[in-house]
Amino acid sequence: MQVSNEFVIFNVHGASVKVMLIKLSGVVDNRSILNVRDIILSILEEFIGLYILNLNGIENEEFINLTNFRKMLSDSIRINHKCIIFSESKKLELWIENYSIFNGVYLVKSDAELTQVLNEKVVHDDFVENSNDESDIRLHLDYLIKDGY
């Protein structure tokens, strides 16, 4: 499992919006995700702006069933809720819908949806306008779903 991050600039209604892009790739297992979690949390501790968590590079379809992956995702959003999750995974979409743990977090499945969210929704949210303020935590604490425990 690998994690990489970079800043990207999006043109949103004539204004340049700087966004951190965090990409996960490779095969996810419960052990490797703990190291990735630590890396992501260290990045987000210092970054209070908008970020995109791109999960499309994950190779195994069952990643959403891993308890540590769910915890990593929830912990990342708890540290900085200004997140757009970029994933084509239907299982991730269903998990988010079924457990409603992500208040105020966007899920996009394509570049077109990402552009739409940036142009229509994010500009009107606190994501861009208050990027220097402390993030309020809008995460419900029901991520502690036990898999097989």
72-119 per-position pLDDT tens digit: 998 998 898 889 999 998 888 877 776 555 777 889 999 999 988 888
CATH number of this structure's domain 2-129: 3.30.750.24
pLDDT of 32 over the 70 cut: yes
Residue 127's Cβ-count burial label (10 Å; 0-12, 13-18, 19+) is: buried
pLDDT of 45 over the 60 cut: yes
What residues does each domain of the chain span? 2-129
Mean pLDDT, all residues of the chain: 79
Q: Which of 12-21, 27-36, 90-99, 108-117 has the lowest mean pLDDT?
A: 90-99
Q: Residue 22 — very low, low, confident or very high, per pLDDT cuts 50/70/90? A: very high
pLDDT of 37 over the 50 cut: yes
Structure confidence by residue, pLDDT tens digits, 116-144: 888 887 666 655 544 444 333 333 333 33
Q: Which amino acid is at 29?
A: D
Residue 44 has φ and ψ, to the nearest 5°, of: -75, -20
Q: Which residues contact 41 (CB under 8 A, 6 or more apart)?
A: 75, 76, 79
Rounded CA-CA distance 112/99 in Å is 26
Residue 78: count of CB within 10 angstroms of its CB: 17
Q: What pLDDT, on a 0 to 100 scale, did the predictor assign at position 20?
A: 94
Rounded CA-CA distance 32/92 in Å is 19
Torsion of CA 122, 124, 77, 25, to 10 degrees: 0
Between 61 and 122, residue with greater pLDDT: 61
